[in-house]
Amino acid sequence: MTGGLHDLTGKVAVVTGGSRGLGREIVRAFAQHGADVVIASRKLEACEELAREIEGAHGVAALPLACNVSEWGQCDALADAAYERFGRVDVLVNNAGMSPVYPSVDAVTEALWDKVVGVNLKGPFRLAANIGSRMAAAEGGSIINISSIASIRPNAGVLPYAAAKAGLNALTEGFAKALAPKVRVNAVICGMFRTDIAKAWGDPSAVDEMARSTIALQRVGEPEEIVGAALYLASGASSYCTGATVRLDGGAA
């Protein structure tokens, strides 16, 4: 699907956490709209499988790469590999994230804290600094940070994650200024989506009941419902949008 307001033909996108969940839907949508895609996650086989799928379905090029974004050197290696293969990056989606379960705040270990901050904040900073600076020196581009409702509505069970995502919101506005005027930087604040992570929420019927009472749309989001926001922020449709945080949470209370 090429042409139109959300056309990405000739563009190159890098999507971290791109092999499953929201990242996988973003990869599929970008490919459908003409972009070549670098698919990065810790599981190379899953990236390779998705790469074959979108190449076959849409005729675009896909580069699957293993990357743990919590490690600075792997972020730089990802950026180098993308530029070596395609010579450019037009869209960066910082989607990789994690939020391990812990029984109480005093049980949060230093290792858990460092791991959560590394994936959700440290990695996006380094990738935005590296790739964003190259974008700014070339033809520009768009950076999309996938944040969470926890960043503005934290609860006791996700405090390291909430703190990291709040930091990501701050980076969004800061990088919008640092990389202006050629690079736009925005964030999507996601609410509850029915991805693999939802399995840790407990009984699906109880989750649905909670959604009916706490979310204006009275339901959990489906993964493909990230697509509209991602395409808007990646494409020329959002040409005057930068430093923004877009809530995509069904109207969470």
| C-alpha distance from residue 151 to each of 17, 18, 187 (Å) | 19, 21, 11
Joined tokens for residue 8:
């990405």
Task: Please provide residue 241's backbone torsions phi and psi, each rounded to the nearest 5 degrees.
Answer: -120, 115
Bond from prior residue into 103 cis (ω within 30 degrees of 0): no
Joined tokens for residue 230:
């991602």
The helix (H) or strand (E) run that includes residue 186 is: strand 183-190
- Respond yes or no: is residue 240 known to be catalytic: no
Other beta carbons less than 10 A from residue 15's beta carbon: 31
In whole angstroms, what is the distance from residue 192 CA to residue 5 CA?
28
| Cα torsion 147, 18, 184, 248: sign | negative
DSSP string over 21-74 = HHHHHHHHHHHHTT-EEEEEES-HHHHHHHHHHHHHHH---EEEEE--TTSHHH
Catalytic pick from 83, 161, 232, 240? Answer: 161
DSSP code of 119? I
Residues annotated as part of the active site: 161
